[in-house]
Structure 1
């Protein structure tokens, strides 16, 4: 046990909520009724005509199917409780909503308090609902009533606001079904070399219907319409009610796909392919998650200590099959081959799972005494791809006959709950590593089905997923030849690389499921412990240490939340030097230093101690999972002042809080970003820009394993209900009174939230922690640094870093700083569940300063316990 373990807050004091006044929400300028009616009338007429044509054509293709269409209404501003209005309208079914932003024009624009036009984009919402023929008649009747200036019937008045604020009324179209997902671009690449009869796979995601019989009818329609194109489903449908996910993978002849692309290129929207016009289809996407092939291997042997007395697992890995006989993994991995995938692998193909297990168990320095004291539970969810090879072996993927969502859900349920008569296989698991991203699903505006699944599972089982942000495998164009780039000063080289990366941000969005809200998403630092290396024909583009990896992906997350939250070492990624006058650098795939040394599955018989060097956000996420295991062990030794352990059912949320709590912005990297990217135009939002590249910072594990005399950390765990307030009091060391010492306060609140996947906010529970009074008014006179104060409130982790070195207010021994944790309903009218949360607060001064922070915090907590008793 460390000399100065983490301290534990006494039980929170419950505070009665004050009567609050709702914050007024401004509305943008919208046209007057006559102008708005004239604007929308052609859109409504077109919507009606398209529905009539679609109804006639779909009846001919699918016998007995009730014609329906998807109504899309994009409004400026917001309309409260519109879902209830849709649900109360005959013939309409609510499908969802999300936030949108559009450029201002003369009809729609934001205004200030004086009614003056502001030069900003207009925030709004997009509503989607299913409409049948009865609903169409009802909708048109409401429209006619509104445009004549008459009062709408009782229960329909929300439609008045929607018509007044609507920018667009239209039908869900084939272009967004195919274009938004990148499917058309992918098809153009795939079909060019293929014969017309070659089968091209794709994934069809259906609008999620609340009635099971409607979902079954849509399945029948998809089968029929796919057969019309001489295609067929590649497997069964997936139907997951908890996350509103309904989909199937189908194979279509390349010739039919070629015809579709030709029709769209000719400007024909109503193409002769009812499958893509069918209004049950939300998106058509590329299929499958896959692990990119490794490069040339030059393995090195390494000795590993034998596993002895390893405890049951608290960490699980969902990945490819590992080589459990490798010296690094033997006796340390509890494999559960739930999907019978191990038999599909050949020697030398068990690579990604082996490397992830190696990093989780041993970290960056395998072979030493740093191995976890517990086994790791490993469920394979990937398998070799018969049709894709690289560098002599098959890559690992999810086949077109299966869904990763299904495998992950079944694996976690089997692990923690059991499956049928099968008992839970690893009920002690609290942390799950998922280092698999979907390169065909970069985050745009709404979370992917896999992200929604992780959010659901994290809440249901109170487990923490550590998820990789995803790798950017494309080239970086620096606009200089290699000779010219090499001639620059190191600082100029780094700034040029950062500016090149900033120009690629749209291509560097998070890969699903990294956008999930209940998880911790991990980005990669350009760092490792492999030491010196032989560069060969490879270039290190970044000289500065602890900067983000040139191969990592960035946020923002859902609703511009902070993603990734934390960064860990992901290995130094080198780039192949361009030849001659080339200016584009491509990632080197060589499995030699630099990088992180991991177990390697050799295809040579009997070779069970080979290692190679790898890089990427998968590695960083594995190290984050390993850090979670160490924090878990440290928390097992933490006791309250009266000797009680922390609540066992809060272990995962406590570790979630402490993982983020340990993160810090690297000053050198922050300075590099300012030098490369800051301008007079973006200065006011530069904290949010910085957060996009750095998250909450790089993990510093030691800070949350133990304290120092100049740094003390207190933790608390509890459950909170809607509108409750929990108050905690941080003792103030009297030595700080009226001084000008530099001080830092770090406050982190983490929780797991239930999700409402039909609501634009998703997150049902909105927690926050604030001091009693403003930060600048509390005795320590603190100011925020690093993150934007609004951005930290958008996910399920709030992380505040505050510093100052000016005059501290005078206070007396025994004074405290009060913090209040509050809970509000967000994506729900009422929050029925209690929400588990963890709070971590660290107070520190400079190392070596003669102020006994830790001692004073411990004494103050003891005094609070005595008074409460």
Structure 2
């Protein structure tokens, strides 16, 4: 069933509402070619070049209209085209040069006077259904999900308590302009009794960001997306919570007698593991790990808290130790990027951390061609745009000839299975019915269970999970407290 076209606004109403905004575009044109800083990199969008159109009804007509005008580009067009049911669809229109800006202004002026020519008539629908037109601003700099998370983060905090945030700046190719923009943001944060913890500027991916401590009262302004707050600063592209690692509880790596037997000489590493600090001295791992700790994370990581890095090193080297496979014939190069409790360092931007790690890896171990990154940012689920971390992996993959193997992320939030009234009913159910019910429940949560950055990398391989292992049936039968949601056929492991 087709969605009916919403009622159009009158031309007089639209002229009053948007005439002044198009007049501002005319003023920009009048200032000459230097009015806009022009760059080819779409990831580094200057606020003057990115216009936000809020339209009434379907975004599809808008997308079609944009395609008919030379020089204009609809950012994230594919994502928006399918957003038919969105009651507040937004379109981000990139205006790459003065010609495109002049074309857009000309369309508006011809529509006002009823003089649109053949091929331009779709723009009549655009202007008639336009609800708002604005430059990139606070609503765009703070994603709704981030605003919700930050609101919960500052709930109950005193106004002066500091909250650590990542502030991504609009990337400027010219060093002088970039320094001026960063200085402006630094001054604004300092004026609010905040402080800058770290910064990074990576030209390869057009990334410029600050890690900052900001008082709770100023974060509240960010949550409310006030124009007079930090979210209103033009040099800022995005404000997000600090990156946080994904982790799960893991069992210990068990000892066995085989570890004491004579072992063959191991080859040089061709695979690197960027993860938590491993228990590098473990009998099953010590001869297999080539450890490099450039960020000095090992001394502060208690052995009892080295779960993830140890487990991943064991999995790569030995595979499922319930099976009969042989260990890798080569060592693996391990570079910790998470410290105690498998958390990212609090004083570093994770994108900068990974960038420095990979550059060092190439210098120290040029023979490495595979990099395992079984970690992600739980505060950055995928929402249609590549994260800086994913862009970094894509760039470094191309630059250094590396294959990145990335985890899709661990979704650890509890959820219900509607087919069962309680846990006892779930445990008592037939295995096939339990598996089908679990799949149906997960299907209903697809929209919420998103990949975590950098799993959206294009050049890498993103790995999900498989509910399989080599546990023997007799051992599995003893684990009565653990209910397998997807039991294997015929009782096989």
Which band: TM-score by shorter chain? 0.7 to 0.9
C-alpha distance 36-411 of structure 1, shift in aligned 2 (>3 A): farther
Q: Distance in 2 between matches of 1:239 and 1:38?
A: 47
Partner of 2:93: 127
CA distance in 1, matches of 2:77, 2:169: 17
1:128 and 1:350 map into 2 onto residues whose CA distance is 46
- Does 2:412 correspond to 1:473? yes
Q: Which residue does the alignment assign to 1:403?
A: 349
Map of 1:484 onto structure 2: 425
Residue matched to 2:243: 288
Shift of residue 324 of structure 1? 1.9
Judged with a 3 Å threshold, the aligned counterparts in structure 2 of structure 1 residues 372 and 298 are, in CA distance, closer, same or farther, namely closer
State the TM-score, normalizing by the size of structure 1.
Answer: 0.46
**Alignment partners' CA distance in 2, 1:67 and 1:477:** 43
- Deviation sequence 1:178-221 (CA, Å, 0-9, x none): 233x2221122222232222111111122333443332222122
Q: Would you say 1:530 and 2:474 are equivalent positions?
A: no
Q: Which residue of 1 aligns with 2:484?
A: 540
Provide the secondary structure at the position in 1 that maps to 2:270: strand
Partner of 1:77: 64
Q: Does 1:365 align with 2:328?
A: no
Does residue 493 of the first structure (1) align with residue 437 of the second (2)? no
Give 1:95 deviation, angstroms: 11
**2:269–2:333 Cα contact (<8 Å) kept:** yes
Aligned residue for 1:294, secondary structure, equals coil
2:39 alignment partner in structure 1: none
> Against the structure 1 CA distance between its residues 130 and 225, is the aligned structure 2 distance closer, same or farther, given a 3 Å change threshold?
farther
DSSP-derived class of the 1:183 partner: helix
Q: TM-score normalised to the size of structure 2?
A: 0.78
Deviation for aligned residue 1:460: 1.5
The residue aligned with 2:193 is: 230
User: Post-superposition shift, 1:526?
Assistant: 1.3
Specify whether residues 483 and 185 from structure 1 end up closer, same or farther in structure 2 by C-alpha distance, changes over 3 A only: same
The root-mean-square deviation of aligned C-alpha atoms, in Å, is 4.0
CA distance, structure 1, for counterparts of residue 13 and residue 184 of structure 2: 36
Displacement after TM superposition at 1:164 (Å): 6.1
Asked whether the equivalents of residues 52 and 91 of structure 2 are also in contact (C-alpha less than 8 Å), the reply is: no
Q: Which residue of 1 aligns with 2:151?
A: 188
Q: Give 2:290's aligned residue.
A: 334
Q: Confirm or deny: 8 A CA contact 1:68 1:279 kept in the other structure.
A: no
Are residues 1:343 and 2:299 paired? yes
The alignment status of 1:247 with 2:209, answered yes or no, reads yes
Partners in 1 of 2:174 and 2:111 — Cα distance?
Answer: 31
Distance 1:292 1:279, change over 3 A: same
Q: 1:49 to 1:67 in 2, by over 3 A?
A: farther
Equivalence for 2:58: none
Cα deviation 1:589-608 (Å, max 9, x = unaligned): xxxxxxxxxxxxxxxxxxxx
Q: 1:306 to 1:276 in 2, by over 3 A?
A: farther
1:447 to 386, 391, 410: 386
Q: Which residue of 2 aligns with 1:148?
A: 113
CA distance in 1, matches of 2:74, 2:348: 26
Question: Is the contact made by 2:53 and 2:90 (CA closer than 8 Å) also made in structure 1?
Answer: no
2:138 is matched with: 174
Equivalent of 2:255 in 291, 294, 301 = 301
In the other structure, the counterpart of 1:216 is 179
Which residue number corresponds to residue 101 of structure 1? 81
**Aligned partner of residue 309 in structure 1, secondary structure:** coil
**Which ranges of structure 1 fall in alignment gaps of 5 or more residues?**
1-28, 52-65, 87-93, 106-119, 385-394, 419-424, 547-571, 573-869
SS in 1 for 2:81: strand
Report the CA distance between 1:435 and its aligned residue.
0.3
- For residues 105 and 14 of structure 2, what CA distance do their matches in structure 1 show? 12
What corresponds to 1:197 in structure 2? Answer: 160
Gaps of 5+ in 2: 26-45, 55-61
Distance change >3 Å, CA 328–CA 164, structure 1 → 2: same
| Correspondence for 1:736 | none
Task: Report if aligned partners of 1:454, 1:518 keep a CA contact under 8 Å in 2.
Answer: yes
2:332 counterpart (372, 376, 395): 376
8 Å Cα contact 1:43-1:170 kept in structure 2: no
CA 1:484 to 1:342, structure 2 compared with 1: closer, same or farther past 3 Å?
A: closer
The alpha carbon displacement at 1:505 in A equals 1.0
Shift of 1:415: 2.3
Q: In the aligned structure 1, how far is the partner of 2:211 from the partner of 2:275?
A: 22
Aligned to 2:38: none
Cα 1:193/1:435, change in 2 over 3 Å: same
Query: What is the rounded CA distance, in whole Å, between the counterparts of 1:471 and 1:456 in structure 2?
Result: 25
CA positional deviation for 1:348: 2.1
Rounded to whole Å, the distance in 2 between the matches of 1:159 and 1:397 is 54
In 2, the alpha carbon distance for the partners of 1:411 and 1:45 equals 51
Q: Distance in 2 between matches of 1:164 and 1:477?
A: 44
Structure 1 residues 235 and 165: alpha-carbon distance in aligned structure 2, compared to 1, 3 A threshold: same
> Partners of 1:517 and 1:542 in 2: how far apart?
30
Structure 1: distance between partners of 2:311 and 2:119: 56
- Compared CA separation, residues 223 and 365, structure 1 to 2 (3 A): same
- In structure 2, distance between residues paired with 1:518 and 1:507: 25
> Relative to 1, partners in 2 of residues 1:483 and 1:188: Cα closer, same or farther, differing over 3 Å?
same
- Structure 2: how far apart are the matches of 1:35 and 1:259? 33
Q: Counterparts of 1:641-660 in structure 2 under 5 Å?
A: none
CA distance in 2: counterparts of 1:78 and 1:171, whole angstroms: 20
Question: Does the CA-based 8 Å contact 2:52-2:90 persist in structure 1?
Answer: no
Query: Within 5 Å, which residues of 2 pair with 1:559-638?
Result: none
Q: What secondary structure, in the 3-state scheme, does the structure 2 residue paired with 1:345 have?
A: coil
1:311/1:190 Cα in 2 relative to 1: closer, same or farther (>3 Å)? Answer: same
Please tell me whether the aligned partners of residues 202 and 285 of structure 1 are also in contact (alpha carbons under 8 angstroms).
Answer: yes
Structure 2 CA distance for aligned equivalents of residues 201 and 124 of structure 1: 29
Question: What secondary structure is seen at the aligned counterpart in 2 of 1:301?
Answer: coil
Once the two structures are superposed, residues 238-284 of structure 1 have per-residue CA deviations (whole angstroms, 9 ceiling, x without a partner) of 222222222112111123334555xx3xxxx64542x1112332221
- Describe the superposition over 1:713-747 as per-residue Cα deviations: whole angstroms up to 9, x where unpaired: xxxxxxxxxxxxxxxxxxxxxxxxxxxxxxxxxxx
Q: For residues 315 and 325 of structure 1, do their structure 2 counterparts lie closer, same or farther at Cα, with a shift above 3 Å needed?
A: same
Give 3-state SS (helix, strand or coil) of 1:501's partner. Answer: helix
Match of 1:415 in 2: 361
Give the length in aligned residue pairs.
451
Alignment equivalent of 1:457, drawn from 396, 406, 426 = 396
